[in-house]
């Protein structure tokens, strides 16, 4: 078994072409710690997005000489030596005469950015083609956000932008070996839910050279997620993103290559570590980072006691959504290899997908509760949290008809709220728990249910969600990052104020209105 895993790792090993740039925390050390812990700026992302006006070594030398102690002195020092980012103040588009979809279409040029070559010292990563940002404080591409944004771009006649963003993601994989959480140096140590295979399904490209380049990138990304297979041993059941299950099958978890506080949430992570009694700080920080990689930052899914962030243990969890997406990636690679007449590759990845689907059914299908669940590989049992992630096997087509019907029953009974789909049934104060609903999870549910013939439930969730988005838009003039689906008002919770813009909400709104034109009446 160990020899086979090492062989797999060698096969999938990817050599990135660019060295990984240092993050602001690594570049500015004591200055960075002082600025973030003093909360010089209300949002910890402000300083990590600032651009140094001179060489970092010179700035550090000036800091050691000046020794600013107070919050005001630190702020003055930063303002003298850095160019601060413009405030993330949403999308200034006139709303009074625009319906919901027209408003979304008017936002695409506002949220679009040209190809980027950042100045020296900028934490932003270069991108060779134009792209769309989520909005607000999120000034860069985010990985899984972009799939849902691209759904809307496609139906709104922005196919060229879809292709541009695919080119950007290919470039990132070629340079760094994976698509990072976002296009900043401080995000490079982790990825996000791997939607690249599904993004490729949105492309109109037919040029064999383009198809081969994108397939190579997809296989490289797969190698990133499976690299840990090479360091699993008889005494170590998990390494990096890979977990060896009791029967020898391989599934995946979220993981981050670093075990320090996140640059963009440094103060928050340090404070969480202070109250995480009895745990090594490095483990706490790694689990917080892995939670950020999941995109569900944060949720009761990752909390050992189901409610307290200090009990976060993301790396212990084998998540159903991640493994569903990796199954889709394996299937996508097999299909693309077949298209390009690579029979050996097609057969290999067809086999891998079959093995993963069997493992999903063995470990992540909870027959007693008729739903998919996450699995705690240390405790060797499923977790108790029912979440919208239970719909991911339906979304990618990995469920049987019987499983899909059972999931639909559970979702109808426990996750459908007045304003859309609940994220979980747990009220913890974390933003990826009730009462919040999120656009990507609505689409996953609606598309997955419809694909298994549960069309009435799918359309009911769509109608509830669109009513919530429309209601908040009429009240605020904005498209928001998340919504309270219990009260049908703007959402709350999380480490930063509610953001507007907003990429994935815009994309899902346009895609739903395209799919259900009768729900567009009055919008």
Catalytic machinery residues:
297, 481
For 352, residues 6+ apart whose C-beta sits below 8 A from its C-beta are: 330
Give CA torsion, residues 265, 377, 331, 154, to 10 deg: -30
Helix (H) / strand (E) element for 278: namely none
For 497, residues 6+ apart whose C-beta sits below 8 A from its C-beta are: none
- Phi and psi at residue 244, in whole multiples of 5°? -90, 120
Q: Is the pLDDT of residue 3 over 50?
A: no
Closest residue by Cα to residue 8 from 337, 336, 250: 250
Answer positive or negative: Cα dihedral of 152, 155, 157, 161.
positive
For 233, residues 6+ apart whose C-beta sits below 8 A from its C-beta are: 2, 239
Average pLDDT of the residues in 273-294: 96
Closest residue by Cα to residue 165 from 209, 211, 115: 115
Average pLDDT of the residues in 125-129: 98
Round to whole Å and give the CA distance between 509 and 443. 9
Average pLDDT of the residues in 119-143: 96
Round to whole Å and give the CA distance between 174 and 133. 21
- Listed in order, strand segments (DSSP E) in 370-469 are 371-372, 375-376, 381-382, 416-417, 420-421, 436-437
User: What b/e string do you get for 167-202 counting C-beta neighbours within 10 Å, with b at 16 or more?
Assistant: bbbbbbbbbbbbbbbbbbbbbbbbbbbbbbbbbbeb
Task: Give the pLDDT confidence score for residue 11 in this predicted structure.
Answer: 45
Task: Give the pLDDT confidence score for residue 86 in this predicted structure.
Answer: 87
Give CA torsion, residues 154, 158, 159, 162, to 10 deg: -80
Q: Using one digit for the tens of pLDDT, what is the confidence trace for 400-434? A: 999 999 999 999 999 999 999 999 999 999 999 99
Q: Is the pLDDT of residue 359 over 50?
A: yes
For 300, residues 6+ apart whose C-beta sits below 8 A from its C-beta are: 306, 307, 385, 424, 426, 428, 430, 433
For 225, residues 6+ apart whose C-beta sits below 8 A from its C-beta are: 178, 191, 194, 241, 242, 252, 326, 329
Q: Of 3-12, 200-209, 221-230, which gets the smallest average pLDDT?
A: 3-12
Rounded to two decimals, the pTM is: 0.95
Average pLDDT of the residues in 72-78: 98
Three-class DSSP labels, 138-196: ECCCEHHHHHHHHHHHHHCCCHHHHHHHHHHHHHHHHHHCCCCCECEHHHCCCCCCCCH
Q: How far, CA to CA in Å, does 216 sit from each of 47, 207, 213?
A: 36, 14, 5
Task: Give the pLDDT confidence score for residue 8 in this predicted structure.
Answer: 47
Answer positive or negative: Cα dihedral of 495, 500, 502, 506.
positive
Q: Are 509 and 479 in contact (CB under 8 A)?
A: yes
Q: Of 194-198, 241-245, 496-500, which gets the smallest average pLDDT?
A: 496-500
439 SS3 class: helix
Question: Band of the pLDDT at 89, cuts 50, 70, 90?
Answer: low
Answer positive or negative: Cα dihedral of 403, 409, 413, 419.
positive
User: What b/e string do you get for 70-81 counting C-beta neighbours within 10 Å, with b at 16 or more?
Assistant: eeeebbebbeeb
For 105, residues 6+ apart whose C-beta sits below 8 A from its C-beta are: 156, 510
Percent of the chain with pLDDT over 90: 91
Tokens 């059941």 locate to: 237
Task: Give the pLDDT confidence score for residue 246 in this predicted structure.
Answer: 96
Averaged pLDDT of the chain: 94
Please list the residues that pair with 142 across neighbouring strands: 182
Burial class of 207 by CB neighbour count within 10 A (0 to 12, 13 to 18, 19+): exposed
For 57, residues 6+ apart whose C-beta sits below 8 A from its C-beta are: none
Q: Of 82-96, 316-330, 478-492, 493-507, which gets the smallest average pLDDT?
A: 82-96
121 SS3 class: coil
Question: Band of the pLDDT at 7, cuts 50, 70, 90?
Answer: very low
398 SS3 class: coil
Q: Is the pLDDT of residue 16 over 90?
A: no
Round to whole Å and give the CA distance between 124 and 238. 32
Out of 13-22, 88-97, 440-449, give the one with best mean pLDDT.
440-449
Domain limits, the chain: 24-83, 100-255+315-520
What is residue 67's DSSP assignment?
Answer: -
Task: Give the pLDDT confidence score for residue 6 in this predicted structure.
Answer: 40
Task: Give the pLDDT confidence score for residue 473 in this predicted structure.
Answer: 95
Q: Are 162 and 154 in contact (CB under 8 A)?
A: yes
For 334, residues 6+ apart whose C-beta sits below 8 A from its C-beta are: 345, 346, 347, 348, 349, 350, 353
Q: Is the pLDDT of residue 522 over 80?
A: no
Q: Is the pLDDT of residue 2 over 50?
A: no
Q: What is the CATH code of the structural domain delimited by 100-255+315-520?
A: 1.50.10.10
Task: Give the pLDDT confidence score for residue 18 in this predicted structure.
Answer: 72
């Amino acid at each position: 078994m160990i020899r086979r895993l090492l062989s797999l790792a060698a096969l999938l090993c990817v050599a990135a072409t660019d060295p990984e740039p240092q993050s602001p925390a690594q570049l500015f050390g004591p200055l960075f710690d002082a600025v973030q812990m003093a909360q010089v700026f209300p949002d910890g992302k402000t300083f990590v997005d600032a651009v140094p006006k001179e060489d970092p070594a010179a700035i550090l030398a000036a800091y050691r000489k000046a020794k600013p102690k107070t919050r005001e002195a630190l702020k003055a020092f930063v303002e003298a030596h850095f160019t601060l980012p413009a405030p993330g103040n949403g999308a200034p588009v006139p709303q009074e005469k625009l319906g919901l979809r027209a408003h979304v279409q008017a936002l695409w040029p506002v949220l679009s950015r040209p190809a980027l070559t950042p100045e020296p010292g900028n934490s932003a990563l270069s991108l060779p083609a134009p792209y769309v940002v989520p909005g607000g404080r999120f000034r860069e591409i985010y990985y899984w956000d972009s799939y849902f944004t691209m759904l809307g771009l496609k139906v709104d006649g922005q196919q060229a932008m879809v292709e541009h963003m695919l080119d950007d993601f290919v470039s990132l994989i070629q340079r760094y070996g994976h698509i990072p959480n976002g296009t900043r140096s401080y995000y490079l140590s982790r990825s996000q839910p791997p939607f690249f295979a599904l993004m490729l399904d949105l492309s109109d490209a037919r040029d064999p050279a383009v198809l081969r380049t994108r397939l190579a990138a997809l296989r490289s990304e797969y190698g990133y997620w499976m690299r840990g297979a090479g360091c699993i041993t008889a005494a170590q059941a998990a390494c990096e993103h890979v977990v060896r299950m009791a029967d020898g099958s391989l599934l995946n978890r979220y993981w981050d290559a670093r075990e320090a506080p996140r640059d963009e949430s440094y103060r928050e992570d340090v404070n969480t570590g202070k109250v995480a009694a009895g745990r090594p700080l490095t483990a706490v920080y790694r689990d917080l980072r892995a939670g950020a990689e999941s995109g569900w930052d944060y949720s009761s899914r990752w909390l050992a006691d189901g409610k307290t962030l200090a009990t976060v243990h993301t790396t212990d969890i084998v998540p159903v959504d991640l493994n569903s997406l990796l199954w889709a990636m394996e299937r996508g690679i097999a299909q693309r290899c077949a298209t390009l007449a690579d029979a050996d590759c097609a057969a290999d990845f067809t086999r891998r997908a079959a093995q993963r689907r069997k493992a999903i059914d063995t470990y992540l299908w909870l027959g007693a509760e008729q739903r998919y669940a996450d699995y705690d590989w240390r405790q060797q049992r499923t977790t108790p949290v029912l979440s919208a992630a239970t719909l991911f096997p339906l979304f990618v087509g990995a469920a049987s008809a019987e499983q899909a019907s059972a999931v639909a029953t559970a979702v109808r009974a426990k996750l459908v709220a007045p304003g859309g789909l609940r994220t979980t049934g747990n009220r913890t104060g974390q933003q990826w728990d009730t009462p919040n609903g999120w656009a990507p999870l609505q689409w996953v549910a609606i598309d997955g249910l419809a694909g298994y013939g549960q069309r009435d439930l799918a359309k009911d969730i769509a109608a509830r969600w669109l009513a919530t988005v429309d209601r908040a838009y009429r009240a605020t003039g904005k498209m928001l990052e998340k919504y309270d689906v219990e009260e049908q008002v703007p959402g709350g919770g999380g480490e930063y104020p509610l953001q507007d813009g907003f990429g994935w909400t815009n994309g899902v709104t346009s895609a739903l209105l395209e799919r259900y034109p009768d729900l567009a009446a009055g919008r």
